[in-house]
Amino acid sequence: MFAHLIQGLRGAGLPTSITEWLALMAGMKAGIAEYSIEDFYYLSRATLVKDERHLDKFDRVFAQCFKGLEPPEGMKPEELPEEWLLKLAEKLLTPEEMKKIEALGGFDAIMKRLKELLEEQKERHQGGSKWIGTAGTSPFGAYGYNPEGVRIGQDKSRNRSAVKVWDKREFKDLDDTVELGTRGMKLALRRLRRFARQGAATELDLPNTIKSTANNAGMLDLKLVPERHNTVKVLLFLDIGGSMDDYVKLTEELFSAARSEFKHLEYYYFHNCPYERVWKNNRRRHEEVIPTWQVLRTYGPDYKLIFVGDGAMSPYEITMPGGSVEHWNEESGTVWMERLTGHYRRSAWLNPTPKQGWGHTRSIALLNDLMEGRMFPLTVNGIDDMTRELSR
């Protein structure tokens, strides 16, 4: 039953399993949803979705699977206030058509035509009286207009019907492939926490205690082992200025998220590609430069190195000595990248530009090669993958 729902969900990338599917079936059998489509929606949502990031995807798939299940509960077109229709007319009809209609009998005729259009749409598409033309199914499309976003809505409390609940897509903000707020960042960065046994002694080490008690001729000798502590050390290299200006905000979000996450967090700025010098304070980038060698000496290979940058530059800035746009660099970016990634056991590059475009920019492809494919998009998913890679 409803197998196309689970197929649709899995197709949309939701990790829905058979277990959950069977749970939904059991719930249906137990009569939790009874005969209400709305309750069925709630029940299937509670069973099949386990993460608020997926709620929006679920709503979309659900709407697709059960389109046309609910009778339309919108306003009848004839009940629409005239002003709305007038506004629509302005938007929808070309001047020529307006003239034609005017010749036919003025605005009354326009309204009549619009009502016909609305009527027609209602027959074809559910809830059509609420939204006009959110998709290609709108009959308006055939006339060559783009009425997207024109809302002939009704009073909020009137559209409480079930279809509207998922059509509202209230969880859009929580989808993880698009939005990346500080919260989402934090979530993903927490993966970086690796629990290593270092720190203060707090836990009783039972086998060792028994052993040393026995050695102690039966006198109790307690042994303790260190409690787990978060010991992840992170070294951030942030691209600043130039082509990164668009991404400064995103980078800052990552930065602020990262900052509260690690005890050992060091950050340095570079421009486009790291060379022999980096800096800590962007305002004084020319006075207070720090040799990259010093960074390499100061922070051991156990630090996890994360570059953040869009990697968009001329390929020469990476491959050639003297390629930097800011100064004369004795050694090429390739040399420095190899030095950095060679020194640190775990490193990754986060790229705020969409992944689809990476192949088209030569410098990004170059950097990705230098990173041995460890370049990740700056989305929650990307950070997730990155942290998994880093904590391996």
Partner 1 sequence: MAGFKSTERYIASRDLEVAVNASVTLQRPLLVKGEPGTGKTVLAHEIAEALGYPLIEWHVKSTTKAQQGLYEYDAVSRLRDGQLGDERVHDIANYIVRGKLWEAFEADHPTVVLIDEVDKADIEFPNDLLLELDRMQFFVYETRKTIVAKHRPVVIITSNNEKELPDAFLRRCFFHYIRFPDRETMEKIVQAHYPDIKKDLAREAMNVFFQVREVPGLKKKPATSELLDWLKLLMVEDLPVEALRTNEKQLVIPPLHGALLKNEQDVHLFERLAFLARRG
Alpha carbon distances (Å) from 302 to 297, 320, 388, 391: 12, 30, 16, 11
Q: Based on the shown chain and the rule CB under 8 A, indicate whether residue 2 belongs to the binding site for partner 1.
A: no
Q: Based on the shown chain and the rule CB under 8 A, indicate whether residue 17 belongs to the binding site for partner 1.
A: yes
Q: Based on the shown chain and the rule CB under 8 A, indicate whether residue 204 belongs to the binding site for partner 1.
A: yes
**Out of 62, 140, 171, 344, the residue judged to bind partner 1 by CB under 8 A:** 171
**306: phi then psi, degrees, rounded to nearest 5:** -125, 120
Q: Tell me whether residue 21 or residue 299 sits nearer to partner 1 (CB atom).
A: 21
Q: How far is the CB of 224 from partner 1 (least distance, A)?
A: 11
Q: Starting at the edge strand that comes first in sequence, how are the strands of the sheet with 277-279 ordered?
A: 289-291, 277-279, 264-270, 233-239, 304-308, 346-351, 375-377
Q: How far is the CB of 178 from partner 1 (least distance, A)?
A: 18
Amino acid at 303: Y
Q: Tell me whether residue 40 or residue 237 sits nearer to partner 1 (CB atom).
A: 40
How many residues lie near partner 1 (CB under 8 A)?
Answer: 42
Looking at residue 131, what DSSP letter applies? B
**Out of 47, 126, 341, 363, the residue judged to bind partner 1 by CB under 8 A:** 47
Q: Based on the shown chain and the rule CB under 8 A, indicate whether residue 213 belongs to the binding site for partner 1.
A: yes
**Out of 1, 3, 200, 219, the residue judged to bind partner 1 by CB under 8 A:** 219
Q: Tell me whether residue 167 or residue 310 sits nearer to partner 1 (CB atom).
A: 167
User: How far is Cα of residue 292 from the mean position of the Cα atoms in its chain?
Assistant: 33
Q: How far is the CB of 384 from partner 1 (least distance, A)?
A: 8
User: Which of these segments, 24-32, 272-280, 297-305, 306-314, binds partner 1 (CB under 8 A)?
Assistant: 24-32
25: three-class secondary structure by DSSP: helix
Q: Based on the shown chain and the rule CB under 8 A, indicate whether residue 49 belongs to the binding site for partner 1.
A: yes
Q: Based on the shown chain and the rule CB under 8 A, indicate whether residue 214 belongs to the binding site for partner 1.
A: no
- The C-alpha atoms of residue 268 and residue 253 are separated, in whole angstroms, by 16
- The C-alpha atoms of residue 240 and residue 282 are separated, in whole angstroms, by 8
- The C-alpha atoms of residue 310 and residue 298 are separated, in whole angstroms, by 26
92 touches 133 (CB < 8 A): no
**Out of 2, 12, 37, 42, the residue judged to bind partner 1 by CB under 8 A:** 42
Q: How far is the CB of 177 from partner 1 (least distance, A)?
A: 16
User: How far is Cα of residue 177 from the mean position of the Cα atoms in its chain?
Assistant: 3
- The C-alpha atoms of residue 151 and residue 40 are separated, in whole angstroms, by 28
- The C-alpha atoms of residue 195 and residue 70 are separated, in whole angstroms, by 51
Q: How far is the CB of 215 from partner 1 (least distance, A)?
A: 14
Q: How many residues does the chain have?
A: 392
Binding site for partner 1 (CB under 8 A): 15, 17, 19-20, 23, 26-27, 30, 32-33, 38-39, 42-43, 45-47, 49-52, 55, 170-171, 174, 183, 186-187, 190-191, 193, 195, 204, 206, 209, 213, 218-220, 222, 227-228
